[in-house]
Structure 1
Amino acid sequence: MLCGAPSGPQPATAETQHIAEQVKSQLEEKENKKFPVFDAVEFKSQVVAGTNFFIKVHIGDNHFVHLRVFRSLPHENKPLSLSDYQINKAKDDELTYF
């Protein structure tokens, strides 16, 4: 993987699900709604001064959301942050940089 270039899409892992769950409350607050289903299905990562994770999350029925989550470098000791998100996504929508 090139530094700065996002990885190719990969199936979500237990770590990806854990990352998504850690920012779920941030998304719920921004959208002013609860998501009873919140299953990470796919992700890409991008190494910057930390790591950006682009995660496709199933939120019920045929509805998906794309998250961009930033994980700072370990020595900074900062929590994960929801940098951006896209709602109204479909299962087949490509996970792209946003």
Structure 2
Amino acid sequence: MEPVHGGLSSLKGAYPEMQRMCEKVRPKDNYRYFYPILYRMQVVAGTNYFIKVHVDEDKYVHICVSQALPCNGGECSISGIQSNKTLEDPIDYFPLGTK
């Protein structure tokens, strides 16, 4: 099921382009790795990607990457992050700007 405008999509596996996007917005924190594994997306005036990222042995963070519309440059920026996540934690919407 694809997202309804403003709602979250179903859970999807990350793909190679998602890794490139995450590397562009990777925070300066000392994460051992930064591998996206699952994501959900939200279509608004652009797209928000809520991504589960593997950062250490059994540690994960959830990040929100906002991508502007192509007519606005299509740039990506990290707009929120939740720490101390596990593989089992569901990826849900969280307020942008969350650190």
Structure 1 length-normalised TM? 0.88
Aligned to 1:48: 44
CA RMSD of superposed structures (Å): 1.1
1:84 matches 2:80: yes
Aligned to 1:14: 16
What CA distance in whole angstroms lies between the structure 2 residues aligned with 1:80 and 1:14? 16
Bigger helix share: 1
Q: How does 1:2-81 map to 2 (within 5 A)?
A: 2-24=4-26, 27-28=27-28, 33-77=29-73, 79-81=75-77
User: How many corresponding residue pairs?
Assistant: 92
- Structure 2 unaligned regions, length at least 5: 95-99
4+ residue segments displaced more than 6 Å: none
- Structure 1 unaligned regions, length at least 5: none
Structure 2 length-normalised TM? 0.87
